[in-house]
Chains A and B, each alone.
Chain A
Amino acid sequence: MKTQESMPTTKVERSAKFVKTGFQIGGNYIKHYSKKIFNPALSRDELNEDNASDIYNSLSELKGSALKIAQMLSMDKNILPRAYVDRFTQSQYNAPPLSGPLIVRTFTKSFGKTPEKIYDKFNIKSTHAASIGQVHEAELNGKKLAVKIQYPGVGDSISSDLKLVKPFAFRLLGMSEKELNIYIAEVEERLLEETDYVREVRSSIEFAEACKNLNNVVFPTYYPELSSSRIITMDWIEGLHLKEFLQSNPSQEVKNKIGQALWDFYNFQQHELRKVHADPHPGNFLITKDEKLGAIDFGCIKEMPDDFYYPFFSLTSTDLFEDKEKTIEAFRALQMILPNDSPAQIEFYYKSYKEMISLFAKPYVTNTFDFSEEQFFEDLYTYGEKVAKMPEFKQARGVKHFIYINRTNFGLYNILHELKATVRTDTFKPHV
């Protein structure tokens, strides 16, 4: 009863949105069965399409963490259908900007001082929105700073959004609650970590230090003493976002250089650090004037345990596929083939996953890869859409780590594709 009273209107609104979707889905079933009376041969395909599009529309309108979750759950399909990809980069927490007094309050709560007393200059109007906060420009001792402030209550709204999303995700993905819970828990854990700014500052400093020898990748300096659980202070990186950069008509050489920096950055993390900046959103990178890649926002970090790393990368980077037994063994380790599968199922998933991974690992097969190649992405999408329609893939398969690792690598491919970069793919090899 109490939570009902104390929850802000948004939850009520969000719930209302879901209720509306519920009605629509109910309506779709009615439509389906009334049509079926006259045409018993009617398949459920139309019904599934109706349902999926209603759910998707509803989730898109919701924005915020609910949309993020929907997108991430759909990652379970391993390769996203194009419609999702179009919106992949749009996922932002769509909140109105914080009022001046709330910004002042956030500072006094964290430091006991107003922002003007902390910095020499502080612009109370934010320059842009970050995923769960907003960014302000400030100056201290002649240095230009970026100050990120988190919206209050984001953590709570993530948890309640997840609860709202669950029943629809069951239907959308056709999974049972038990199967889905593993993935939901994984997503919730990562999303909640993103709201912990103290942790983010720590990770940022750690990654910046670990990656400092990489060519053409730069990181801002972070100021832990000027950061708190709701505020992050870092250097302001002067640079262009990917879209602006591309509009400035850079030469192929420069595009390759940036693409290479991005590739090295990710593969160094995956294979040398075993943990990775798992949010390759174009908004998290800046291209500086001296043609370097600036990496910001280490809110979402995915660590890869050994029992995932070894089987997964031996599939992509060794000649394991030559040996069917060993391949199946790796698939079992990754829960892509389950203990109760029949021999026919084993054969089916063996073939399907082998095809999928071979396709996905294509850039690794040669020493260099041209990401401008439309055909490669066309193949990925076609395959993704085909898989999404296969009833065999309605069931949840694969360990939870796939959600973020696939998201990371798919995001990386996507940015490289936008850059139309050709990169050397053998710079950091998996240790398997």
Chain B
Amino acid sequence: MATAIQIKKGYVDYVLTHNEQPKSVYSFVKKLKISEADFYAFYASFESIEKNIWFELTVETIDEIQKQELWLQYSAREKMLSFFYSYVELLKNHRSFVIYSLKKHGKRLATPEVLAGAKPIFEKFAEEIINEGLETGELADRKFFAKRYKDALWVQYAFILNFWMDDDSDGFEKTDEAIERGIQVTFDLFQRSPIDNLFEYGKFLTQHGKLKEKMGF
């Protein structure tokens, strides 16, 4: 009886050797010397294997960082930084697969199908961190926008993945820089800023609009 891990391994080995998907599930299981039923017991298609790998990588990273001693001391900003540093560290061991899996998708703007499983997990994780930040006052609670913060972080997720794929610096140092700067800027935007004050000032002025007439403008 084949296991999910065996099938996954066999599949990754195949795509990295041939740089393409197996022609059919039939030819693939024949090579692996397992039955088609075994395959479908775990996976619905080749895509679902890839989707599953991405899902697992993301879950593993989140589990990993939450075990770190410093985790509880970290601010929301630092928690998100910690996620990305650990994530690219983990991806290093799977670089060939990552590049194969994402390059196939091309440079389209939409979320690659293979990340469809990882996205909700990441977003849930991001939401937790954002809510913590909103509670402690680290982040600004803005109507409508605060609900979209997680989308901005997903954009960073995609950006960092893309950046890392093209990164040829020693030890992927440039990616570290991209993470540090990108996440810092994103969280700077989530924080209370002069724009919030300006917005509130504008609100105040419209609510007390009569002032204008009284002062004779």
- The verdict on A102 contacting B81 (CB below 8 Å), with A6-B163, A96-B184 known, is yes
Query: In the bound complex, how far is the Cα of B151 from the Cα of A160, in angstroms?
Result: 33
Query: In the bound complex, how far is the Cα of B151 from the Cα of A13, in angstroms?
Result: 25
- The verdict on A99 contacting B77 (CB below 8 Å), with A5-B166, A6-B167, A114-B69 known, is yes
Query: In the bound complex, do residue A152 and residue B70 qualify as a contact, i.e. CB atoms below 8 Å apart?
Result: no
Give, as a whole number of angstroms, the nearest-CB distance from B103 to chain A: 14
Chain A residues closer than 8 Å to B163, beta-carbon distance: 6
A 77-135 contacts with B by CB, 8 A: 96, 98-102, 104-105, 108-109, 114, 116, 124
Query: In the bound complex, how far is the Cα of B79 from the Cα of A101, in angstroms?
Result: 8
Chain B residues closer than 8 Å to A2, beta-carbon distance: 166
Contact with A along B44-64 (1 / 0, CB 8 A): 000000000000000000000
A156 within 8 A of B: yes
B78 within 8 A of A: yes
Give, as a whole number of angstroms, the nearest-CB distance from A378 to chain B: 45
Query: In the bound complex, do residue A152 and residue B166 qualify as a contact, i.e. CB atoms below 8 Å apart?
Result: no
Q: For residue B84, which residue of chain A has the nearest CB?
A: A101
B 143-196 contacts with A by CB, 8 A: 163, 166-167, 169, 171, 173-174, 176-181, 183-185
Q: For residue B164, which residue of chain A has the nearest CB?
A: A6
Give, as a whole number of angstroms, the nearest-CB distance from B69 to chain A: 6
Give, as a whole number of angstroms, the nearest-CB distance from B194 to chain A: 19
Summarize A's interface: helix, strand, loop or mixed. helix
B89 within 8 A of A: yes
Query: In the bound complex, do residue A6 and residue B166 qualify as a contact, i.e. CB atoms below 8 Å apart?
Result: yes
- The verdict on A153 contacting B177 (CB below 8 Å), with A99-B77, A116-B69 known, is yes
Summarize B's interface: helix, strand, loop or mixed. helix
Query: In the bound complex, do residue B74 and residue A101 qualify as a contact, i.e. CB atoms below 8 Å apart?
Result: yes
Query: In the bound complex, do residue A108 and residue B89 qualify as a contact, i.e. CB atoms below 8 Å apart?
Result: yes
- The verdict on A153 contacting B70 (CB below 8 Å), with A6-B166, A8-B181 known, is no
- The verdict on A152 contacting B78 (CB below 8 Å), with A104-B70, A108-B89, A114-B69 known, is no
Query: In the bound complex, do residue A100 and residue B169 qualify as a contact, i.e. CB atoms below 8 Å apart?
Result: no
Q: For residue B183, which residue of chain A has the nearest CB?
A: A99
Give, as a whole number of angstroms, the nearest-CB distance from A273 to chain B: 31
Query: In the bound complex, do residue B78 and residue A156 qualify as a contact, i.e. CB atoms below 8 Å apart?
Result: no
Give, as a whole number of angstroms, the nearest-CB distance from B17 to chain A: 27
A342 within 8 A of B: no
- The verdict on A109 contacting B174 (CB below 8 Å), with A9-B181, A101-B81 known, is no
Query: In the bound complex, do residue B181 and residue A105 qualify as a contact, i.e. CB atoms below 8 Å apart?
Result: no
Query: In the bound complex, do residue B169 and residue A105 qualify as a contact, i.e. CB atoms below 8 Å apart?
Result: no
A10 within 8 A of B: yes
Contact of B70 among A96, A100, A102 (CB under 8 A): A100
Contact with B along A137-170 (1 / 0, CB 8 A): 0000000000000001100100000000000000
Contact of A101 among B78, B177, B181 (CB under 8 A): B78
Query: In the bound complex, how far is the Cα of B37 from the Cα of A413, in angstroms?
Result: 84
Q: For residue B85, which residue of chain A has the nearest CB?
A: A105
Query: In the bound complex, how far is the Cα of B176 from the Cα of A152, in angstroms?
Result: 7
B82 within 8 A of A: yes
Query: In the bound complex, how far is the Cα of B131 from the Cα of A338, in angstroms?
Result: 70
Query: In the bound complex, how far is the Cα of B77 from the Cα of A116, in angstroms?
Result: 21
Contact with B along A1-34 (1 / 0, CB 8 A): 0100110111000000000000000000000000
B207 within 8 A of A: no
Chain B residues closer than 8 Å to A8, beta-carbon distance: 174, 177-178, 181
B197 within 8 A of A: no
- The verdict on A100 contacting B89 (CB below 8 Å), with A6-B174, A8-B178 known, is no
Query: In the bound complex, how far is the Cα of B172 from the Cα of A153, in angstroms?
Result: 10
Give, as a whole number of angstroms, the nearest-CB distance from B149 to chain A: 18
B68 within 8 A of A: yes
Give, as a whole number of angstroms, the nearest-CB distance from A195 to chain B: 11
Give, as a whole number of angstroms, the nearest-CB distance from A296 to chain B: 25
Chain B residues closer than 8 Å to A108, beta-carbon distance: 89
Chain B residues closer than 8 Å to A10, beta-carbon distance: 181
Query: In the bound complex, do residue B174 and residue A156 qualify as a contact, i.e. CB atoms below 8 Å apart?
Result: yes
Chain A residues closer than 8 Å to B176, beta-carbon distance: 102, 105, 152-153
Chain A residues closer than 8 Å to B89, beta-carbon distance: 105, 108
Give, as a whole number of angstroms, the nearest-CB distance from B163 to chain A: 6
A6-B178, A8-B181, A99-B184 are known; give 18 further A-B pairs, CB within 8 A.
Answer: A6-B167, A8-B177, A9-B185, A10-B181, A96-B184, A98-B180, A99-B77, A99-B180, A101-B78, A102-B176, A102-B180, A104-B82, A105-B89, A108-B89, A114-B69, A152-B177, A153-B169, A156-B174
Chain B interface residues (CB < 8 Å from chain A): 68-70, 74, 77-78, 81-82, 85, 89, 163, 166-167, 169, 171, 173-174, 176-181, 183-185
5 residue pairs, one from A and one from B, having the closest CB atoms: A101-B82, A101-B81, A153-B177, A105-B85, A152-B176
